[in-house]
């Protein structure tokens, strides 16, 4: 493998344009999601991500470590957000029934109410912003392209 510092493969004009579009998209989409969720429900994308993941868990809940893996977040980030959301009455934590060491997270009735009230607007935003502008073929191309980019990052130990 060539040393990237000694022999860089500079981007051509088209590649640089694509890179800048991708960079702006990757940083802009989370802000757009946060903006929509904040306007509709007064919450961040991270909070909604936790609510959505917990809502899809088995009735007994999900362990906090498993939740961190599902969201691909650091355990400390999940723990901090869980404390905030528990204080808001959206979820509850209890000792895991199987071994008593971990915590199982489940939604409170208020948490379920928020998920049910927020999901329709969120899915509408996602559909209208991400899917509606694309043909079914373009959607599949996007999926395949994103998988290839992620695989390349994983291969380099960056993901």
Spatial distance between the Cα atoms of 2 and 14, rounded to a whole number of angstroms: 23
Identify the CATH assignment for 42-155 out of 2.160.10.10, 1.10.10.10, 1.25.40.10, 3.40.50.360.
Answer: 1.10.10.10
User: What pLDDT does residue 152 have?
Assistant: 97
Q: What's CA 24's distance to the chain center, in Å?
A: 17
Using alpha carbons, select from 97, 98, 71 the residue that is nearest to residue 85.
71
Q: Residues 126-156: pLDDT tens digits?
A: 999 999 999 999 999 999 999 999 999 999 9
Q: What is the DSSP string of 34-50?
A: HHHHHHHHS--HHHHHH
Q: Residues 47-97: pLDDT tens digits?
A: 999 999 999 999 889 999 999 999 999 999 999 999 999 999 999 988 776
Domain boundaries, the chain: 42-155
Q: Residues 19-60: pLDDT tens digits?
A: 999 999 999 999 999 999 999 999 999 999 999 999 999 988
Residue 97 CB partners (closer than 8 Å, separation 6+): 60, 104
Q: Give whole-number Cα distances, 34 to 27, 47, 49, 65, 121, in Å.
A: 12, 10, 11, 24, 12
Residue 4's pLDDT band (cuts 50, 70, 90): low
Q: How many CA atoms lie within 13 A of 98 on its CB side?
A: 7
Spatial distance between the Cα atoms of 107 and 113, rounded to a whole number of angstroms: 9
pTM listed for this prediction:
0.82
């Amino acid at each position: 493998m060539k040393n990237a510092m000694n022999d860089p493969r500079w981007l051509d004009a088209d590649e640089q344009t694509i890179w800048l579009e991708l960079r702006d998209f990757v940083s802009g989409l989370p802000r757009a999601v946060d903006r929509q969720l904040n306007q509709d429900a007064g919450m961040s994308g991270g909070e909604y991500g936790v609510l959505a993941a917990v809502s899809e868990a088995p009735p007994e809940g999900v362990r906090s470590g498993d939740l961190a893996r599902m969201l691909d977040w650091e355990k400390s980030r999940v723990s901090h957000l869980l404390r905030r959301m528990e204080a808001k009455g959206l979820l509850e934590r209890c000792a895991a029934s199987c071994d008593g060491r971990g915590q199982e997270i489940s939604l409170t009735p208020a948490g379920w109410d928020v998920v049910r009230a927020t999901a329709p607007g969120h899915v509408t935003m996602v559909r209208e912003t991400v899917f509606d502008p694309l043909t079914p073929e373009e959607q599949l191309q996007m999926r395949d392209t994103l998988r290839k980019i992620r695989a390349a990052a994983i291969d380099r130990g960056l993901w």
